[in-house]
Structure 1
Amino acid sequence: MKCIITIELGTNGIRVFAYDLSGRIIGSMKGHYPTFHTEPDHSEQDPEQIFITTLYVLKNILNEYIHPKKYEVASICFSASMHSVLAVDKNGNPLGYAITWADNRAKKEAQELRNSSLGKKLYEATGTPIHPMSPLVKIAWIRHNNKERFRLTSKFLSIKTYIIHQLTGEYIIDYSIASATGLMNIHTVNWEEDALQYAGITANQLAVPAPVFTAAGKLKKAYQQSLRLPAETKILIGSSDGCLATLGDGIIKGAEKASITIEDSGAVRVMGSTVLKDEQMRFFNYLLTDNCYVSGGPTNNGGNIFEWFTRQFGEFTNPFDMENSMQQLMEEVDNVPAGSDGLLFLPYLLGERAPIWNANARGAYFGLNIKHERRHFIRATIEGILYEIYSIGKTLGEQRSINSLSVNGSFGTIPFCSQLIADIFNKPVWVRQQFHSVSFGAWLLSATEMGIYKSLDDAAQPVELPNVFRPNKQHHAVYADYFGIFEKLSTKLFDEFEAIGNLQKKYAHSNKTLIYDNP
């Protein structure tokens, strides 16, 4: 019996699934690793810790579910979050930590480039909005602010490329991750020369772009022995988590349907044969396969924001039971009306990407009065996260007709949240409980590579999401009124967002100086 393993390198952890060739889950496991915020706007991860966690979880799932049942692993397919940058030396050793998508330290470079004619040209060529998330401006920041690290760097890699290199010795990057770097021309499918010149690097300092079906060589002998896998096991480079979540929800080219992901971060996406063109540079256009683009907008602030709220204000009967503590908070809001009695929350704790593309954005509660209680804050926090998702969908609706939605991700598929999404969007929302769209998208990709399906469109056609949430018209009317204020606040506070960010930097620096000067 053959099986397919999928590995998702997520923001805060790894998920490994095993499927048989009919798409049935044999088993799954996950592991976690931290993100370090050592300074304001910094978000970094230890690549070695990610690799060790990957090996540990993969070995456990093989030993528990695969080897005892005599399954033969036909392929291992990777997916990963986008926009990570890891500098390595000539021997492939990391030069410090990997910089994640949430890192905003390159704000100055991004703002200057975005306002230039070059920025507009690069957006049209690469499909990646100009923002600190982009590896293009991350590399430029390293070039300007860490000259020694830049000098020693032999290659700039994504986390997924680094993990695959550790396993196989190959430096390779799939088209979708490559097209999210801001360095690849999505029309010619080559590294864009103007982007390379801006970053101050050559194409040789990047991995080799390849189609998502590409096998990245063979496992090194040490891992063949450790994992008890044969040399012929295919290591598919796969795609990005966003592209595969869209595929896993059954979204096909031309469908009048959008896919919403709310995990740690979030996004609203559509799939088509053409890119979305936008003078304001608000949308991404990432290449999945030839003439197939996943387009939409991402938010920095998804389920991670409610986790933050839970850590600060939840009641932990078990100090490590985040899910149960989140559920307890949600149970308090049943008797809070839609709109939280006028309490609004701007969820921009990590700055923001779409649709405002403002790395300086900050979180805020607005409309607070003497009658508000903790339960209002809970509901307002959830509503604020979903207002931001709606703001992306509303903007996307200017370009594509969207009649229904699918929702995936551990936060988005909580029934309370799925119903709120339906109410806010005023559209039906389709979900499948206990279903992981990213891993299933990776299985569809692997099954297509094996010839089980003729194409990814054929693979996505039979996908069914059986559960539907219908919108409550009265609640929608309430949310429409409050969203108008939310939207205005998100843009009216641009100057104040920047000012308080500058003060934070000023006094953080002052405090460090005082500490260092006073042993």
Structure 2
Amino acid sequence: MKCIITIELGTNGVRVFAFTLSGQVIGSLKGYYPTFHTEPDHSEQDPEQIFITTLYVLKNLLNEYIHPKKIKVACICFSAAMHSVLAVDKNGNPLGNAITWADNRAKKEAQELRRSALGKKLYAATGTPIHPMSPLLKIAWIRSNDKERFKQANKFLSIKSYIVHQLTGEYMIDYSIASATGLLNIHTIKWEADALQYAGITAAKLPELAPIFTATGKLKKAYQQSLRLPAETKILIGSSDGCLATLGDGVKGEGKATITIEDSGAVRVMGPAVLKDEQMRFFNYLLTDNCYVSGGPTNNGGNIFEWFTRQFGDFTNPFDIEDSIQQLMEEAAKVPAGSDGLLFLPYLLGERAPIWNANARGAYFGLHIKHERRHFVRATIEGIMYEIYSIGKTLAEQRTIKSLSVNGSFGTIPFCTQLIADLFNKPVRLRQQFHSVSFGAWLLSATEMGIYKSLDEAAKTVELPDVYKPNKQHHAIYADYFGIFEKLSVKLYDEFEAIGGLQQKYGVVEDVFKKK
């Protein structure tokens, strides 16, 4: 018996799945690692901790589910979150932490580039919106603000490229992750000269470009021995989490869209054409030749409700946040749609689509004396979903959306899935106990192995049997409140800028007092 193993390098942890060649789950495990916010707008992770966690989880899965049953590993396929940047020296050693997608330190550079003719040219070429999330802007920031690290850097890698290099010794980046850097021309599939010049680097400072079906090379002997895997075990470079979540839900072709809400979130479509937008609101990421995953991302998904839970939840078990989240969901269900007029702007980490404002901030609006904690709970969930809906509403200007699917640990909570159906006023499909990113990686691997002739054929096999139908009365209520939410998100632009400036001015005062 053979199996396919998928490894997803997510924002808050690594997920490892083992599938049979027919797509049945043999077993899965997850390991966690932290994100560090050492300064305002900074979001970093320790690459060595991510690598050690990945090895630990993979080894445990092999020892628990695979080796005892004498199952042969046919291939290992990677997926990862986008927009990370890690500078390494000539020996491949990290120069500090990896900078994640949520990092906003390059917001000044992003604002200036976005307003320029060069910014519009780069967006048209790369398909990546001009925003601090982009590795293009992160590298430019390092060049200007961390000159010693920039000078020592031999390569600028994504987290996945670093992990693959640790395992195989090869420097590679797949088309999907590369197309989210702001450095790749998605039309020529070559590093964009104007982007390289803006970042102050040459193509030699980046990994080798590789199609998603590329085998990266053999595991180093030390890991062959440690993991008890033969030298011929195929390691596929794979794709990004966003592209594979879309593929894993079978969303390929006109009329379909998928919503992911994990820590962050996104609304995506997949097709042969790039979405063109003068306002530069959409991403266009490459999966394979002439196949683009387009849409809009939010910084503020399940991570925001987790923040709320940690601050205001009741922890019966202090180490089990999932129980606390469930309790708050039950509390929210007892509050009518609309939270009795309480609105929440969920921009705790700035925001990407559709407002693309790194200075955006969170706020509760409409508070009155009768509001209780339960109203805040529901308003927080509704605010996260209003932001998702605002992306979908903008995307619908470009593409017809007749059917929706949802994935991600937060989006597939029944209360949240129903809220999505009510907001969009469309049926929402999903499959319970299903992980779309990992299944997308399995579909990719199965296609590479010849089980499917193409990704088109693979996508058509996906079945999402569970359907949530919209409540039209709730939709009408949400539509009225969303109008206010949408206006606030735009009207508060000047105030967002002002508070961001004050944070830069006074943000270190607390630390100064602590030192005294």
Q: Distance in 2 between matches of 1:251 and 1:501?
A: 38
> What's 1:9 paired with?
9
> What's 2:259 paired with?
260
Q: How far off its partner does 1:514 sit?
A: 4.9
Q: Which digits, 9 at most, give the CA deviation of each residue in 1:376-404, with x for residues without a partner? A: 00000000000000000000000000011
Which amino acid in the other structure matches residue 443 of structure 1? Answer: W
- Percent identity reads 84
> What's 1:202 paired with?
202
Q: Which digits, 9 at most, give the CA deviation of each residue in 1:427-463, with x for residues without a partner? A: 1100111100000000000000000000001001010
Contact map agreement 2:406 2:412 (CA 8 A) in 1? yes
Which amino acid in the other structure matches residue 267 of structure 2? Answer: V
Q: Which digits, 9 at most, give the CA deviation of each residue in 1:29-59, with x for residues without a partner? A: 0000000000000000000000000000000
> What's 1:78 paired with?
78
| Structural mapping, 1:44-443, within 5 Å | 44-252=44-252, 254-443=253-442
Q: Which digits, 9 at most, give the CA deviation of each residue in 1:334-376, with x for residues without a partner? A: 2211100000000000000000000000000000000101110
- 2:322 alignment partner, SS class: helix
Q: Distance in 2 between matches of 1:28 and 1:513?
A: 46
Which amino acid in the other structure matches residue 296 of structure 1? Answer: G
Q: Which digits, 9 at most, give the CA deviation of each residue in 1:49-100, with x for residues without a partner? A: 0000000000000000000011100100000000000000010000000000
- 1:165 alignment partner, SS class: helix
Contact map agreement 2:333 2:378 (CA 8 A) in 1? no
Misfit runs of 4+, over 4 Å: 513-516
Q: Distance in 1 between matches of 2:470 and 2:235?
A: 43
- 1:298 alignment partner, SS class: strand
Q: Which digits, 9 at most, give the CA deviation of each residue in 1:144-202, with x for residues without a partner? A: 00000100000000000000000000000000000000000000000000000000000
Contact map agreement 2:268 2:293 (CA 8 A) in 1? yes
- Report how many aligned residue pairs link the two structures: 516
Q: How far off its partner does 1:512 sit?
A: 3.8
Give ranges in structure 1 of 5+ residues lacking alignment.
none
- 1:102 alignment partner, SS class: coil
Q: Does 1:456 align with 2:455?
A: yes
With 57-66 and 327-336 compared, the bigger mean Cα shift is at: 327-336
Q: Distance in 2 between matches of 1:355 and 1:332?
A: 30
Give ranges in structure 2 of 5+ residues lacking alignment.
none
Q: Which digits, 9 at most, give the CA deviation of each residue in 1:216-257, with x for residues without a partner? A: 0000000000000000001100000000000000111x2301
> What's 1:27 paired with?
27
Q: How far off its partner does 1:503 sit?
A: 1.0
- 1:137 alignment partner, SS class: helix
Which amino acid in the other structure matches residue 57 of structure 2? Answer: V
- 1:488 alignment partner, SS class: helix
- 1:504 alignment partner, SS class: helix
Distance 1:338 1:22, change over 3 A: same
Q: How far off its partner does 1:515 sit?
A: 4.8
- 1:460 alignment partner, SS class: helix
- 1:83 alignment partner, SS class: coil
Q: Distance in 2 between matches of 1:508 and 1:440?
A: 43
Q: How far off its partner does 1:408 sit?
A: 0.1
Contact map agreement 2:333 2:415 (CA 8 A) in 1? no
Q: Distance in 1 between matches of 2:334 and 2:138?
A: 45
Which amino acid in the other structure matches residue 468 of structure 1? Answer: V
Q: Distance in 2 between matches of 1:153 and 1:511?
A: 33
Q: Which digits, 9 at most, give the CA deviation of each residue in 1:322-344, with x for residues without a partner? A: 11100001111222111000000
- 1:41 alignment partner, SS class: coil
Q: How far off its partner does 1:3 sit?
A: 0.3
State the TM-score, normalized to the length of structure 2: 0.99
Q: Distance in 1 between matches of 2:374 and 2:487?
A: 25
Which amino acid in the other structure matches residue 336 of structure 1? Answer: V
Q: Distance in 2 between matches of 1:461 and 1:514?
A: 60
Q: Distance in 2 between matches of 1:508 and 1:492?
A: 24
Q: Distance in 2 between matches of 1:204 and 1:218?
A: 23
Which amino acid in the other structure matches residue 14 of structure 1? Answer: V
Contact map agreement 2:353 2:391 (CA 8 A) in 1? yes
- 2:297 alignment partner, SS class: strand
Q: Which digits, 9 at most, give the CA deviation of each residue in 1:232-286, with x for residues without a partner? A: 001100000000000000111x230100000000000000101000000000000
> What's 2:474 paired with?
475
- 1:499 alignment partner, SS class: helix
Which amino acid in the other structure matches residue 385 of structure 1? Answer: I
- 2:23 alignment partner, SS class: coil
Q: How far off its partner does 1:320 sit?
A: 1.1
- 2:367 alignment partner, SS class: coil
